[in-house]
Structures are given as structure tokens and as C-alpha cells.
Amino acid sequence: MRRRGAQFWLWLNKRLPVKTYEDVLNDGRQIEVQARITLEGMTQVFIGIYDASGGAMFEAFSDRGFREPLASALKWGARRARELVLETEPFVAPHRAQLTLSPLITDEAVLALRRMEMTDSERLKIKASDAQAEYHAAHSAMLELMRSTTSVDPLVWSEHRERLRQAIDRRVWVQRGYLLSTKSSRVEDNSPHEKGNH
């Protein structure tokens, strides 16, 4: 039983028929995507992510476009839901368990701009650019510390090492997200019902 949040009740309109996609992850988290077309012809998508006990972790809905096919809207919603799940997962490297990475962007104005509607590829491109810039900055800071002629405070050394570790892991995390996204796109592009009969 899912415990719905405010966004779901704002979304709910029993007069409009919906198409639904649902999935349950290995850890019990649940993904729900609904798509509908309003009386005015606007295609809308609802994305809900719920924990194993049914509590709402994320709910949101948005307009997709005028009379976008429901199948296409559901695919977008499922892809976006997987991306949201991936963004909240801690990265686990093969050699050791990692803690969740600390936020890279903390400026509220920048974060507000990042929350605007963007395509998946634009979002991934920004993340990759941020991760690359932070890696170079952390790498340069560590090199400068190593070249220091004076003794280094152990706390300072630990902070620089942790920053570099997170920068490396962040780059891998972004690449992993990109590979999952492109793999998902290729699978959907090659699905039989999308190919025309020649």
C-alpha cells in the first residue's frame, strides 16, 4: 500500500484515463509512472518513487507536449525515474564501499537553474563538466600539497585525499549514469514494436 504525497493528490483526476508503468527494484523501492492526455490535448506524466514500505520518496508531474503518444511519454517517465533513482544511490566501487558523495554544487541560484527542464543529454553533459572540473581542481590541490617543502598537517592531508577520492568516484558515477542512459536508449530504439515493416 503506497502512502501518497501531496503531488499525487494534485495530479489525480479520475475523469482522465491513464496508462501506467510500474517497476520494483531489488531493494524493494517502487517506481510508478502514469501518462494521460488532458481534455485540451496536453500529454502529462506523473513520476512516483516509493520506498519498500510504500512511503513517498519522490513525486512530481509535468506537461510533455501537445498530444505526445502515451507510449512515448511513459518511456520518458520510466527513463527519468531510473535517472532519479540513480542520482540518489551511493556509488559502490568494485574495490571498496563508498559513502554517498557530498554535493558538488551548493549555490542556491545555480541549483535553481539546474532544476529547470532540461533534456537528459543536457543534464548529463553538465554533470560530466562539473565532475571533470572538480577532478582537475582536486588533483591540482593534492599535487601542490605533495610538493610542499614544509610538513603537512595530517588533517589537511586527509581532507585533500578525501576530496580527490570523491572527485574520482564522481567521474566514474557520471560515466556510469551516461552508459546506463545510452544503453537504455539503444534498447528502446531497437524494440520490435517501434520498427516499421519494410
CB 93 within 8 A of CB 172: yes
Choose among 73, 86, 62, 80: nearest CA to 20: 73
What is d(CA 150, CA 158) in angstroms, rounded to the nearest whole number?
16
How many other CB atoms are found less than 10 A from the CB of residue 173? 22
Rounded Cα distance between 72 and 54, Å, is: 27
pLDDT in tens, the chain (198 residues): 788 988 999 999 989 999 999 998 888 889 999 999 999 999 999 999 998 888 988 999 999 989 899 999 999 999 899 888 877 665 555 544 444 455 556 666 665 665 555 666 666 777 777 777 788 888 888 787 777 767 777 787 788 788 888 888 887 877 777 666 655 555 555 555 444 444
Structural domains of the chain in order of their starting residue, each with its CATH number: 1-89 (no CATH), 92-198 (1.10.287)
Please give the model's pTM, rounded to 2 decimal places.
Answer: 0.47
Cα(150)–Cα(27) distance, integer angstroms? 49
Contacts for 175 with CB less than 8 Å, ≥ 6 apart? 128
Which grid cell is 184?
A: 537504455
φ/ψ of residue 67, rounded to 5 = 55, 40
